[in-house]
Amino acid sequence: MIVYDKEDMKKTKEGCYPTLSCLYSIIPRDVRLHMERVGVYAKVFYEYLEQQHPELVAPLNHEIDDCIQDLYTLHDVGRAFVPVRFQNKAGGLTDEEFEQVKKHTILTADTLDSVYKLPFTDIVKMHLYNISMYHHEKYDGTGYPFGIQGEQIPIEARICSLADAFDGMTSWKPYRKNMGLDTVKRIILEEAGKQFQPTLSLAFVECIDNMPMDMDASWEAQAGQYFSKEKDIFR
């Protein structure tokens, strides 16, 4: 569970930022909006799996059930330590710049250690590490940062990979227009066994019509529920 009583929060090694929301505030706004959309999509998908395919999420510790959206929102928390000039650069990245951006996965531990007190139990923190560090791994082993494959990739990261890709395909980018849902479904099925776990790909396509697709207009009014509870949101 996530706790809000200061006495229950554990000190970290470095403590450069007093709270998680202070750290979160330094991430570029467009990246935060992406993170928050992924949090919503992953929560919808996770709840769909619990109802329709419970065997797929059985390995997870269900202490995290009440904070799923918060955990998946933080999937890109390592971007706080990536230079701003490389993030969402119009016109695309050079190979060197892309390598810098890719480091946001392995920067997860250092990033969270920079917060003076984290509102996490150790179990929740472990799941956040799994989501943040492994959500760019691919089922066929061609992802990053470690090139692991199949069920070596934690299940929570395999779920995040689909939600992250879904947002990437359906949200506006400076270099291309967003894709229609029929195209998205086709691509996700084509990537079954490549980027995504096949059974999860099929389940995600089943779930796509449940996804809220009109969030951006009122997003800032709806998002940040977790961070506002810290009482010091910097948005």
Q: What is the pLDDT of residues 113-129, one digit of tens each?
A: 888 888 888 888 899 99
Q: Which pLDDT score is estimated for 220?
A: 44
* b/e burial code for range 120-153 (CB count within 10 A of at least 16 → b): bbeebbebbbbbbbbbbbbbeeebeeeebeeeeb
Residue 5 has pLDDT above 60, yes or no: no
Alpha-carbon gap, residue 137 to 235, rounded angstroms? 30
Residue 3 has pLDDT above 60, yes or no: no
Ranked by mean pLDDT, the top range of 1-5, 12-16, 128-132, 173-177 is 128-132
Alpha-carbon gap, residue 216 to 127, rounded angstroms? 27
Question: Which pTM does this prediction carry?
Answer: 0.83
Comparing 16 with 185, which gets the higher pLDDT?
185
Q: What number is the average pLDDT over the span 192-218?
A: 88
Q: What ranges make up the beta strands (E) of 1-137?
A: 10-11, 117-118
Q: Which pLDDT score is estimated for 222?
A: 43
What is residue 104's DSSP assignment? Answer: T
Alpha-carbon gap, residue 88 to 99, rounded angstroms? 14
Q: Which pLDDT score is estimated for 102?
A: 85
Q: Which pLDDT score is estimated for 128?
A: 93
pLDDT tens digit string along 68-126?
999 999 999 999 888 776 666 656 677 787 787 888 999 888 888 888 888 888 888 89
**Residue 3: which of 141, 121, 178, 114 has the closest Cα?**
121
